Amino acid sequence: MGKKRIIQKSEKELLEEREKVEAGVKREPKTLTSLITKEGKIYISSSYNNTIITLTDDKGNVLNWVSAGSIGFRGTKKATPFAASKVAEAVAFAAKKLKIEKIEVLIKGIGSGRESAIRSLAAHGLNISSIKDVTPIPHNGCRPPKVRRV
């Protein structure tokens, strides 16, 4: 089998590799010029397939968003409560970076990650002022199809 050789990279190669990795990392969340109130809103959209959490300022301008797929979960793992808590953790980190302390949570959808996302937001030190469920509910629905005649 012969001797195995370990390839050692030079400092120049290591620096080039590090620059590539840093270029691949997502950009920093947007900074606010007029963030006086330190308040924001967090929209949680939880479906059977994914969990998407959006961080906005009090006017509704999007500052940052994270989904279970963007973190690295694939397939059915995106819809799990664990993935939702990791997404909420990432949003909480972005909110801390933007110095947002007080948040209002608006939940939409019927996925399994609803409760775990809220628990994770609260556990990471964000002050939750209110929680609203904004899931769309059909009142009467659309007209049913005609009766089938055979």
Is residue 77 a part of any domain in this protein? yes
Residue 5 phi/psi, 5-degree rounding, is -110, 135
Does residue 150 have a pLDDT over 90? no
pLDDT higher than threshold 90 for residue 101? no
At which residue do the structure tokens 């007080």 appear?
A: 102
Spatial contact of 42 and 107, defined as CB atoms under 8 Å apart: no
Give the chain's end-to-end CA distance (angstroms, integer): 76
What was the pLDDT predicted at 12? 80
pLDDT number for residue 66: 92
Is 46:108 a contact under the CB 8 Å cutoff? yes
Amino acid symbol at 25: V
Is 9 inside a domain boundary?
A: no
Give the position of tokens 């050789």: 5
Domain-embedded: residue 20: no
Q: What is the pLDDT of residue 85?
A: 92
Q: Is residue 16 part of a domain?
A: no
Residue pointed to by tokens 């950009």: 27
Q: Could you list the residue range(s) of the whole structural domain that residue 122 is in?
A: 37-133
Provide mean pLDDT across the span 121-149. 91
Residue 129: CATH number of its domain: 3.30.420.80
The span from the CA of 42 to the CA of 65, in Å, is: 9
Q: Is residue 13 part of a domain?
A: no
* Cβ-based neighbours of 98, under 8 Å, separated by 6 or more: 29, 31, 32, 35, 40, 55, 63, 64
In a domain, 57, yes or no: yes
Over residues 17-25, the mean pLDDT reads 64
Least confident of 6-10, 68-72, 89-93, 102-106: 6-10
List pLDDT tens digits, range 61-82.
999 999 999 988 899 999 899 9
DSSP code, position 68 = H
Give the global pTM. Answer: 0.71
Q: Is residue 76 part of a domain?
A: yes
Task: Report the pLDDT averaged over residues 87-103.
Answer: 91
Assigned domain for 28 exists: no
What mean pLDDT, rounded, does the chain reach?
Answer: 85
Quote the number of domains for the chain: 1
Hey, is 69 helix, strand or coil?
helix
Confidence of residue 83 (pLDDT cuts 50, 70, 90): very high
- State the pLDDT at residue 30: 58
